[in-house]
Structure 1
């Protein structure tokens, strides 16, 4: 609202300023994706054109996307990413949900110690464990397998922590009533507590899928076969095949490999936001 002089009131400025800052940050974050899409439809002569106009002088999308899909098996890379991400996510949920329920709702000796270990494990980076894991997988002759890609991530301490904070807010009275009705602890966990925590599970699923779809460090260590390469490693093989010169095709390949993540987030955005904002609220 404006005052008598025609200017906006100070309270209006205070409300608009945060939105303006957020919109500016969003534009800077979206700019690389916009440039990627724009480059993927440009002709080679326009690649280094600094113009951000969305309509190129020469529409080259068909050639770029055809080159991207024919030079290397992009869809095979995407299939590998789906297999690895879903395999990791399923095992993470099967392990983390009962563990989090036990830490949140079952009093047992050493519960605080176990939770402290979970917090401590959050501080251990993946790079610390890479060498012993690689040696173990090499000794077991499991390199260049899907299992090698998934093995270090099948147990997620972040999932245990996140679900434990969510399960703590579930009413103890309902759990006690279910026990009196004869339900087992596993039945209470999966049939009562888990349905109430679906937003948190959806939020973790988005985190997990995005993290492992984009992971390049570990696949570079355990995978040398192009047929098993996940999307980021596949893009490296693509860059080698193209000698890094066909930027239009490279950006077309990047757009193809990024699209599943965008679709995944758009489908789960409401549950993702709800799960993040409500986690740990009593």
Structure 2
């Protein structure tokens, strides 16, 4: 009995090394979030002096801008947390920016799904000449970085008069080759007997896509949705190019530009508070869809 117990508690060097690497990696990933949250809770002088620990002393400090407006100094004492988060909403129309981000990301995802599902179904379940060549082209397009085609896209949109519009933020990303690839990999796991049975019932190919394949593809769609929403919600590069003269169309990342740190660093706290507000919806969505996300990645073979 003692020998069996000793074997069960035998130290596994490989497993310990793997867990150590994973822990270090997790700490590296979490460190920016720790810093972001910490700075959003501190007073300006604590941020500049790098004091106060994680949440700071939480002592009221004088808001110099309030004093400049002619208010008495004793009436301009504010709590660091209240100051940072209230300034995040007061200095910029943050609610408007969040709404813009919601409109853009949801529109892109819905159109991507409308395009990706039929394409993925055709590549996975239909037999036609040149199918493998088309799939190879999809794989090739995965290798093209966004920055390589940014200038041609911008010129096309500028000539069409679509810059500084929602269309400029949405149209270039309505076809997702990654979405086509991911859904195709998932559809390959769907039994052909299910599709043959639907055809015998008189369903058309489009009816099969939306009434048979779509319900089975929910886990893969959830996984793709996380990738798509995170990518376009956090995108700074493309909105910075096509949105130049209309502040009302700023997306959440562009809204951070309203809090560019001055020489004295007074805007660092509100900037980090804004970053926390922007990141929170993504974290909530991922936590709600975590199980489906993992299922979608596993079933589609994206390990």
Q: TM-score of the superposition, structure 2-length normalised?
A: 0.85
Residue in 1 aligned with 2:39? 39
Separation (CA, whole Å) in 1 of partners of 2:81 and 2:34: 14
- Which residue of 2 is the match for residue 215 of structure 1? 235
Two-structure CA RMSD over aligned residues (Å): 2.5
Indicate whether 1:198 and 2:215 are aligned. no
**Cα offset for 1:21?**
2.5
What's the offset of the Cα at 1:15? Answer: 3.6
RCO comparison, higher one (Cα < 8 Å, 6+) = 1
Is the contact between residue 166 and residue 280 of structure 1 (CA under 8 Å) also seen in structure 2?
yes
Structure 1 runs of 4+ with >6 Å offset: 240-243
Asked if the contact 1:37/1:255 (under 8 Å) is kept, the reply is yes
CA distance in 1, matches of 2:130, 2:205: 19
Give the Å deviation of 1:238: 3.0
Q: Secondary structure at the match of 2:260?
A: helix
- C-alpha separation between the residues in 2 aligned to 1:190 and 1:117? 25
Counterpart in the other structure of 1:21: 21
Question: Which range is displaced more, 125-134 or 162-171?
Answer: 125-134
Q: In structure 1, what is the Cα distance between the partners aligned to 2:171 and 2:163? A: 11
CA drift of 1:243 comes to 8.7
* Gap change, CA 1:240 and 1:150, over 3 Å in 2: farther
Of 124, 127, 135 in structure 1, the residue corresponding to residue 147 of structure 2 is 127
CA deviation vs aligned residue, 1:9-60 (integer Å, no higher than 9, x gap): 4444544442332222212211111111111111112114556843421251
Partner of 1:262: 283
Q: How far apart are residue 106 of structure 1 and its match?
A: 0.7
Unaligned runs of 5+ in 2: 60-79
Instruction: Provide TM-score, normalisation by structure 1.
Output: 0.91
CA distance in 2: counterparts of 1:55 and 1:175, whole angstroms: 57
CA contact (8 A) 2:234 2:252 kept: yes
Paired with 1:49 and 1:240, the residues of 2 have a C-alpha distance of 15
Shift of 1:189: 1.4
Give 5+ residue unaligned stretches, structure 1.
Answer: none
1:237 has 2:258 as partner: yes
1:277 maps onto 2:298 in alignment: yes
Q: Distance in 2 between matches of 1:209 and 1:117?
A: 24
Give the conservation status (yes or no) of the 8 Å contact 1:168–1:280: no
Pick the structure with greater CA Rg: 2
Query: How do 1:56-205 and structure 2 match up within 5 A?
Result: 56-58=56-58, 60-205=80-225
Distance change >3 Å, CA 163–CA 71, structure 1 → 2: same
Q: For 1:142 and 1:242, locate their aligned partners in 2 and report how far apart those are by CA, in whole Å.
A: 37
Matches of 1:52 and 1:43 in 2, distance apart? 9
